[in-house]
Amino acid sequence: MSIFGFLSGEFIDVIHWTDDTRDTLVWRFEREAHEIKYGAKLTVREGQAAVFIHEGQLADVFTPGLYMLETNNMPIMTTLQHWDHGFKSPFKSEIYFVNTTRFSNLKWGTKNPVIVRDPEFGPVRLRAFGTYSVRVIDPALFMREIVGTDGEFTMDEISYQIRNIIVQEFSRTFARAQIPVLDMAANSRELGEIIGGEIEAQLAEYGLALPELYVENISLPSAVEEVLDKRSSMGVIGNLNEYMQFQAAEGLGRDGAGAASIQAGLGAGLGMQIGTQAAAAGPWGAAPAARIAAPPPPPVEHVWHIAEAGQTSGPFSKAAMGRKASEGALTRTTFVWTPGQDGWKRAEDVMELAQLFTVLPPPPPDA
């Protein structure tokens, strides 16, 4: 065997990387003394890029393919060019493999509530969370700006920084968008696209891209959600008095003892009515000269709600409304609403409440 055949068989390396961790972004090929031999074969698979570092400087980036590392096509110094060092080159060379596939289903969320001004509810505190994906588009820039000399760089080491960028841009974008709270669910997709577009320019400075960003949920504080649920329930109920009567009748219908009591009471009342009619008819069964008419049912008392400064309060009885009018808390221009009424009206436009202001004394004469 010739000496050149011996050298080629002695020093050839096979350089490649197979990743089974699913969270590694950069992995350094470990070689004794970081020496890359003459004629080494470099295999770069799909979804990878290989960054060649020679003497501490980034020399080249290899895309997927098979490469033969030789002096005629590589900017490196090999052991075959330094016979006086006993085939041990003093030049250090390193190969870093960069994962260029998409890392998906990464989580983001607001650590603290974001305060925004809603056109209907005023200042509200919101929380949001969702998912995003990221991938390396410029391996050389990513190595210079983020990785440095880290031999094994994982997604966890940069995901925290990306989440901070997303949350910061979400706060700015949502505050500028002025989307009402009740319309957030319908605009979550558009909101995610706007935020992703704003973040894309920042991540490009690190050699990264943000292919997807989803806003999965935007939530209000629990106390506000409870009030919103009550408001929705009132809108569904409509006439409050009719609803209370229905609830009472339904409850008695479910209660067997209550239903039996009602039947017994109706039976006793019917018996007394028959006895009274028989006594009035006399011994010969003559009909009375005139029937006693039953009294009409009592009028239904309305309850009122008051709207002031974008907030609602109530319900209040008419007596309570009278006290508010006497104290000045209820004026003619105060907006009020009662079940069955068509929208909010001024107190002076409601006949039942307008009477409260006519009984008040006029203003005192000037001294």
Q: What is the pLDDT of residue 74?
A: 54
Per-residue confidence (pLDDT) for residue 339, from 0 to 100: 84
**What is the average pLDDT across 248-261?**
62
Give, in words, the CATH class of 304-358. Answer: alpha beta
Give the model's pLDDT for residue 87: 40
Is the bond preceding residue 315 a cis peptide, omega within 30 degrees?
A: yes
Average the pLDDT over each of 186-195, 241-250, 261-270, 343-352 and give the range with the smallest value.
261-270
Closest CA to 213 of 108, 113, 114: 108
| Per-residue pLDDT at 36 exceeds 60 | yes
Which pLDDT does position 341 carry in this prediction?
81
Instruction: Give the mean pLDDT of 83-93.
Output: 45
Whole-number pLDDT of residue 92 = 63
Among 115-119, 137-141, 275-279, whose mean pLDDT is lowest?
Answer: 275-279
Is the pLDDT score of 277 beyond 90?
no
Residue 99 has pLDDT above 90, yes or no: yes
**pLDDT mean over 67-82:** 53
Q: What is the pLDDT of residue 38?
A: 67
**CA separation for the pair 107, 181 (Å, rounded):** 23
User: Does the pLDDT value for residue 299 go beyond 60?
Assistant: yes
- Residue 103 has φ and ψ, to the nearest 5°, of -95, 110
Res 106: pLDDT: 92
In our burial notation (b when 16+ CB lie closer than 10 A, e otherwise), range 179-213 reads bebeebeeebeebbebbbebbeeebeebbbbbebb
Given a cut of 50, is residue 290 above it in pLDDT? no
Flag whether pLDDT at 56 surpasses 50: yes
- Using the predicted structure, report yes or no on whether residue 46 has a pLDDT greater than 80: yes
DSSP class of 217: E
**What pLDDT is attached to residue 78?**
39
Q: What is the average pLDDT across 278-296?
A: 56
More confident site: 266 or 207: 207
Q: Which residue has the higher pLDDT, 118 or 307?
A: 307
Predicted local distance difference test score (pLDDT) of residue 131: 92
DSSP-derived pairing of the beta strands 103-109 and 122-136: antiparallel
As a whole-number percent, the residues of the chain with pLDDT over 70 amount to 70
- Give the pLDDT confidence score for residue 85 in this predicted structure: 38
pLDDT tens, residue by residue, 145-203: 988 888 889 998 888 889 988 888 888 887 777 777 778 777 888 888 888 888 888 89
Q: How far is CA 329 from the centre of its chain?
A: 39
Q: Using the predicted structure, report yes or no on whether residue 3 has a pLDDT greater than 80.
A: no
- Whether 263 contacts 252, CB under 8 Å: no
Contact 52, 10 (CB under 8 A): no
Which range has the top average pLDDT, 150-164, 298-312, 320-334? 150-164
Higher pLDDT: 4 or 342? It is 342
The model carries a pTM of 0.54
**Contact (CB, 8 A) for 337 and 347:** no
Across residues 267-291, what is the average pLDDT? 54
Listed by start position, the domains of the chain span 3-99, 103-225, 304-358
* Average pLDDT in the chain: 75
Pick the CATH number of 103-225 from 3.40.50.2300, 3.10.450.50, 3.40.50.720, 3.30.479.30: 3.30.479.30
